[in-house]
Amino acid sequence: MAVILKSPGEIDAMKAAGQLSAEVLRKVGELVKPGVTTLELDEFAETYIREHGGIPAFKGYGGFPGSICASVNEQIVHGIPSKKVVLQTGDILSVDTGATVDGWVGDNAWTFAVGKISDDKKRLLKVTEQCMWAGLESAVAGNHLGDIGHAVQSIAEKAGYGVVREYVGHGVGHNMHEEPNVPNYGHRHLGMKLQVGMVLAIEPMINMGTRKVVDGDDGWLVCTRDGKPSAHFEKMVAITEDGPVVLTTEPDHRRPL
């Protein structure tokens, strides 16, 4: 598949989906606390998205049953919300939300602390967020995909963490996953050249230990092989003539906290 470049007007149109996706992510984050189930968070997210003019982008996508992905501690990505998963003090929860508005998809993720967490988990969240911002800042016309990956990888590995290879960022538009894939590792000046009109989801998945992963039994869940925690942060960015423009954001909330 070819990369689908977006016009300035189309990028403006995507901002509604981006804002709603960011808003519901923030609202879900406000509900994250000990004793809450991930199914409760999912039900809230679906209702909120629909009441605000959107469609949950994840629900039914490839058969996925939830409106959010909810991944706890060593779970990296694609956790299915469940009434059996009750959040506990000290957990970290990665929440991935997506909303479709007027045919355009918004996609973003954040890892939230559940109550008071350990210092090593705080450091993992801080570093992974830094990785995401560095990747977003590298989404400049004339750079290459390798520049984004290198920006993420260098920060993560300097901190002693593993960078997941099997799951990467991607293009976004009318479809949630478009070309190109956007790895969170790479070398500067290598890979596809970035062009004005690209819209990318940059989403580092960083493990406290090894980068190696293991698949769960449900066909969706992905966990760290060594059982150590993982964090996942994601925002969607448009490459414009004036530089990178983050689309999954709210006017008064750069971060969903």
pLDDT (tens digit per residue) in 189-226? 999 999 999 999 999 999 999 999 999 999 999 999 99
> What SS3 class is residue 49?
helix
Total domains in the chain come to: 1
The tokens for 16 are 């509604």
In angstroms, the CA 46 to CA 65 distance is 11
For 29, phi then psi, to 5°, come to -60, -35
How many CB atoms are located within 10 Å of the residue 257 CB? 10
State the burial class of residue 7 (Cβ atoms within 10 Å of its Cβ: 0-12, 13-18, 19+): exposed
Binding-site residues from annotation for substrate: 78, 177
Residue by residue, pLDDT tens for the chain (257 residues) are: 699 999 999 999 999 999 999 999 999 999 999 999 999 999 999 999 999 999 999 999 999 999 999 999 999 999 999 999 999 999 999 999 999 999 999 999 999 999 999 999 999 999 999 999 999 999 999 999 999 999 999 999 999 999 999 999 999 999 999 999 999 999 999 999 999 999 999 999 999 999 999 999 999 999 999 999 999 999 999 999 999 999 999 999 999 98
Residue 74 CB: number of other CB atoms within 10 A?
18
DSSP 3-state of 233: coil
Whether residue 40 lies inside any domain: the answer is: yes
Q: The domain spanning residue 143 has which CATH number?
A: 3.90.230.10
Q: What is the pLDDT of residue 257?
A: 83
Q: 116 lies in a domain?
A: yes
Does some domain include residue 251? no
Residues contributing to the annotated binding site: 78, 96, 107, 170, 177, 203, 234
What contacts 153, CB < 8 A, 6 or more positions away?
A: 163, 184, 185, 186
Element (H, E) at 9: helix 8-31
CB 92 within 8 A of CB 231: yes
Residue 178 near residue 165 (C-beta atoms within 8 A): no
Of 71, 86, 158, the closest CA to residue 123 belongs to 158
Annotated binding site for a divalent metal cation: 96, 107, 170, 203, 234
Which pLDDT tens digit goes with each residue over 229-243?
999 999 999 999 999
Residue 214 domain flag: yes
Whether residue 137 is contained in a domain is answered as yes
Range of 33's domain? 8-246
- Asked, for residue 23, whether it belongs to a domain, the answer is yes
Note whether residue 48 is domain-resident: yes
What is the rounded CA–CA span in Å between residue 10 and residue 238? Answer: 10
In a domain? residue 207? yes
